Structure 1
Amino acid sequence: MIKRCLLYVIFCCDLISLCTSSNNNKRLLLNDPDVINNRLIRLEGIVSMLNASLQQVTTENQRQEQKIQQQDNIIQQLSSNQQSSGATYIRWARKQCPGNDTELVYSGYAGGGYFDQPGSAAEYVCLPPDPDFVKTSAFDNGRMYGAEFDANFFASNADKEDVPCALCRPKHSASTIMIPGKNTCYSGWKLEYHGYLASGYYNHKAASSFVCVDINPEYIIGGLDMHYGKLFYEVVAKCGSLKCPPYMPNYPLTCVVCTK
C-alpha cells in the first residue's frame, strides 16, 4: 500500500513537471518530438508499475480473506465440538480413564444391591470416594453394597477382589455406546476401552444389568475379603433365539465402549 502511494506521488509530480516544462519550454516541446515521446514512455512505465502494484495488493487482499475464512471455519468447528460435548461413561474395574482426550470426573467404587436379595436394585453403580450426607439415620429399606468379582475369569487373581470404577467424560464427543459381543468400534466411532461383558449370576434372586469390565482389571487396595454384595460374573452365549452362528455356544462375550 505504501509503495502504491509513492508511485502515485511520483506520477503526480511527473505530471506537474510535464505541465511546468510545457509552459517554460513550449517551443522546445513543440519542435522536439523526442522529448514528448520520452515523457510519454516514462508515464507509461509509471502506469504499468501502478497496475502491477494494484494487482499485488488485490492478490494479497484475497489471500487475507481466505485466511480469515479458514480461521472462522476453525472457530466454528471448535465451537460446535464444545457445544456437542457431554457424553459420559463408566470404565468398570479401572481407576483412571483412557488417555485419549478424556477427562476423569471421579474415581470410585463399584456398588449395587445385594446379589441374593429379591428387592435389590438391578443396575451397577459407580460410587464416588467422597460422599456427602445430610441425615444421620433412616429406615433400613433400600440398601447399597460394594461390589466384587466372584471368580477368576476376568484375571487370574480376581476372585473376591473389590471392584473400582471411573466416571469418564470425552471432551469432544456427544454420544457413547457399549456394544456387547464386540471388542472394536464400528467405523466413525472412537474406541474408549474394551473388555468382557459382565452381569450377575443368572440363578441369583436379585436382578442385574450388563456392563463392560475392562480387559485389564484393577482392584481396590485392601479389598480382598469375601463380603459379596453386588457381584460380577462373565456372560456366555446361549443358542436358541440367539443365533449360532454367528454366536458360539458358551463362548464368553466381549464388549467395547465407543464414543462419537
Structure 2
Amino acid sequence: MSGDEKDAKPCSCPPGPRGPPGRDATAKIAPPSGAVFTRWGRAECPKTSVLVYEGTASGSSFDEPGGGGNYLCLPRQPAYRDPTEGTQPYRAYLYGAEYWAVDHAKQDTLHRRTMPCAVCMSVGRAAQFTMPARDYCPTGWTREYRGYLMSSHYKRSRTEFICVDGEAEGSERSSRLRKSSRLVPVEVRCSQEDRDGSFPCGPYKNGHELTCAVCTV
C-alpha cells in the first residue's frame, strides 16, 4: 500500500440511488378478485371458479309467514358468540332447504332431500348475474353452471327465485311432517288473451318449467 493510500480520507459523497429489492424482500401480493356467486344444489364449484366454502341451503319455513325472503348457504361449521341457550319466541328461524320437485322428470329423484350449496369465486371475472329462462349466457360471458329456476310454492311464503344446478345432488330424505324451506320448479303462466295481468303466450309455453344459467364476465 502506498503512502498516498494510507493518508486517504473516507469519501463524504451522498449515497447513490437505491437498487431493486432482493429475492427475500417482503412484498405485498394482491389477493385474487372476482365475482362471488352461490352454486345451489352442489357442494363443489365449477372448474371455471374456486371454492370459498361449501354448505347447506337454508331459508324460512314454507308454512311460516315471517323471516327472511332469501336463501342462505350456511357453512358446515358455525361460529357462535354469546348465544342464549334454548329456543326463543322473538327470533327469526332458519330451516334446511329441500327439493319438492314432484312430477319433474329431471328432479323427481331429489324430492324431499336436503340441498347442498357452494359459495364460489370466478377469478378474474368481476361481474355475475343469473340468466332466467335460458340455460346459456350472452356472448362474451362465461357460464358457471346451468340448471332450473326454483322458488317457494305459489301458495306458501314468498321467497326468491334461485338457479339450482341441473345436476343437483341431495342428502337424506326427510319426512313430510318435518319443517323445512321447500323449493319447487318454476313454470310460466301465460294465456292467449291478455288478462289477469299475465303476459301473452308465444315463445313461452304455459306450464313449461324454466331453465337458468349463472354467468360471469
- Common fold by TM > 0.5: yes
Q: Does 1:219 align with 2:170?
A: yes
TM-score, normalised on structure 2? 0.76
Deviation for aligned residue 1:161: 0.5
Deviation for aligned residue 1:84: 9.0
Structure 2 residues without counterparts, runs of 5 or longer: 1-28
RMSD of aligned C-alpha atoms? 1.9
User: Which runs of at least 4 in structure 1 moved beyond 6 Å after TM superposition?
Assistant: none
Give the equivalent residue in structure 2 for 1:254.
211
Output the CA distance in 1 between the equivalents of 2:201 and 2:141. 27
| CA offsets 1:105-157 (integer angstroms, 9 cap, x no match) | 01100001011111131111100011000123173321111111123434231
TM-score, normalised on structure 1? 0.64
Structure possessing the higher radius of gyration over alpha carbons: 1
Where is the helix percentage greater, Structure 1 or Structure 2? Answer: 1
Output the CA distance in 2 between the equivalents of 1:208 and 1:108. 19
Contact 1:126–1:165 (8 Å) recurs in 2? yes
Are residues 122 and 214 of structure 1, via their aligned partners in 2, closer, same or farther at CA, if it must alter by over 3 Å?
Answer: same
Give the equivalent residue in structure 2 for 1:89.
37
Pairs aligned (count): 176
Amino acid at match of 1:224: R
- Look up the SS of the partner of 1:157 in the other structure: helix
- The equivalent position to 2:182 in structure 1, one of 220, 226, 231, is 231
Output the CA distance in 2 between the equivalents of 1:109 and 1:257. 19
Structure 1 residues without counterparts, runs of 5 or longer: 1-78
Deviation for aligned residue 1:247: 1.1
- Look up the SS of the partner of 2:158 in the other structure: coil
Output the CA distance in 1 between the equivalents of 2:129 and 2:31. 19
Q: How does 1:80-119 map to 2 (within 5 A)?
A: 85-100=33-48, 102-119=49-66
Output the CA distance in 2 between the equivalents of 1:191 and 1:243. 29
Q: How does 1:19-30 map to 2 (within 5 A)?
A: none
Deviation for aligned residue 1:83: 8.8
Identity of aligned residues (%): 35
Q: Does 1:127 align with 2:74?
A: yes
Output the CA distance in 2 between the equivalents of 1:156 and 1:229. 18
Contact 1:147–1:228 (8 Å) recurs in 2? no
Q: How does 1:180-195 map to 2 (within 5 A)?
A: 180-195=132-147
Where is the strand percentage greater, Structure 1 or Structure 2? Answer: 2
